[in-house]
Chains A and B, each alone.
Chain A
């Protein structure tokens, strides 16, 4: 079966983040009422990179493109032009400005030719939410089993864990505290509703 092209298809499909309709008409937590501010940051592209961390040539080939090395310490992230999160001993998540991921993926693939690696563009599957304010730790503690106390979970650390009934990648950006959480796109509204509910006393 073939489908006829319609003359009215716009040149570019409009990209809409997963919470666009949720935020429209829903009150979201803000620092004035709950001590927590929720900010959707959809302007990132994501690449999932896997490769052998013991292979010096692999690490160099990646570093050459990124300008800094992949985080080797478990559950940490590094930030420069791009942010690279440690996901596993041979797996990283790279986030960059939306639209740049294709160029980076192309150049990484060129640098990594001949190596054993996996590089997948996962931009469409993620959504980053930034949570900040004095009560963030208290809100997250309602649905996250991780110990987020400042003595345990420090700036520069990240972790993949659970939030209520979904999973997330959480990273501590600064001591405000500001947390970035990366959610599965299809679970973003569930997580946002959960967060909204959890800020109520």
Chain B
């Protein structure tokens, strides 16, 4: 079980949070101009790295805010919460 540091509420148990996948994925400004491959890349393709991973979490049983943190996918260590 992870202990996650919510930027508002402080350290809370993982069971209070929801996971939102990889962070920093920006919706293309003009989707009509994209090829099918580019659109599929935006929709489906994720980095899935071994090591540091920036990801979105929501404190759903607490303050219900979304935030981004960096987690090591090998050791589960959370290195940075913003």
Which residues on A are within 8 Å of B, measured CB to CB?
74-75, 87-89, 91, 145-146, 159-162, 167
Contacts and interface: CB of A to CB of B under 8 A. Distances in A.
B62 A160 contact: yes
Interface residues of B, number: 12
B63 interface: yes
Contacts, number: 38
A89 B64 CA distance: 10
Given A89-B65, A162-B15, A162-B61, 18 more contacts: A74-B8, A74-B10, A74-B63, A75-B9, A87-B63, A88-B8, A88-B63, A88-B64, A88-B65, A145-B12, A145-B13, A145-B15, A146-B12, A146-B13, A160-B61, A160-B63, A161-B61, A162-B13
Nearest to B65: A88
Contacts of A89: 8, 63, 65
Interface in B5-48: 8-10, 12-13, 15-16
Interface of B: 8-10, 12-13, 15-16, 61-65
B60 to A, nearest CB: 9
Nearest to B13: A145
B62 A159 contact: yes
A146 B10 CA distance: 11
Contacts of A91: 63-64
